[in-house]
Amino acid sequence: QAVSSSATNSAKQVTKLQQDLRDALNKVSETQRQMMTLRNEMAVAQAGSTQMLAANRIHESMSKIYHGSLGGSFNKWKKQTQLLAQEAATQAMIDAAVDVANAKSREELDRTCRSLTQKLNSDRDAALKAAAAAAEEARQAAVAAAESNADKGA
C-alpha cells in the first residue's frame, strides 16, 4: 500500500511538472505571438513611412519642375538623401529591437525548459528513492512477520 501511494504521489508530481512545463511553453508562445504582432505593426509603420517618402519625392519633383532652378534642385536632392538616410537608420533601429526581443524570448524559453527539466528529474529521482525505501520497509515487515510466525509455530 505504501508503494502504491508513493507511486500515486510520484504520478501526481510528474503531472504537476508537466502542467508547469505546458504553462511555461504557453507563456513563450504568447511572447512569440506578441513579437509577431509587433513585427506586423512595424511593417505597417514602414509601409506608411515609405508612402510618406514617396509623397515627399513627388512633391519635390513637382517643385523642381515648377522652379527649374539648379540650386533648388540640389537642395531638394539633398533633402531626399537625408530622408533616405533617416529611413535606413530607423529601419536599423527597428531590426535591432526585434533581434533583441527574439534573443530574450529564446533565452527565456531555454532557461524555463532547463529549469523544469531539472526539477522534473530531481522530483522523479526523489519519488523513486521514496518508493524504494517504502518497498524495503514492507519487505522487512514481511520478513519480521514471517520470522514471528515461524517462532510461534516452532
Question: Whole domain around residue 107: which residue ranges?
Answer: 2-147
Q: Give the total number of structural domains in the chain.
A: 1
Nearest Cα to 35, choosing from 81, 122, 119, 104?
A: 104
Contact 12, 120 (CB under 8 A): no
pLDDT tens readout for residues 20-48: 899 999 999 999 999 999 999 999 989 98
Q: Which three cell numbers stand for residue 106?
A: 529564446
Q: Does 153 map to a domain?
A: no
Q: Does 130 map to a domain?
A: yes
Q: Does 114 map to a domain?
A: yes
pLDDT tens readout for residues 10-19: 888 888 888 9
Confidence (pLDDT) at 153: 66
Q: Does 154 map to a domain?
A: no
Q: Does 37 map to a domain?
A: yes
Q: Does 96 map to a domain?
A: yes
Confidence (pLDDT) at 60: 84
Q: Does 76 map to a domain?
A: yes
Residues of the chain with pLDDT under 70: 1-3, 66-73, 153-154
Q: Look up the CATH number of the domain holding residue 133.
A: 1.10.287
Q: Does 103 map to a domain?
A: yes
Please give the sequence-ordered ranges of beta strands (E in DSSP) within 6-154, or none if there are none.
none
Q: State how far the alpha carbon of 54 is from the alpha carbons of 5, 36, 37, 83, in Å.
A: 73, 27, 26, 10
pTM of the model: 0.38
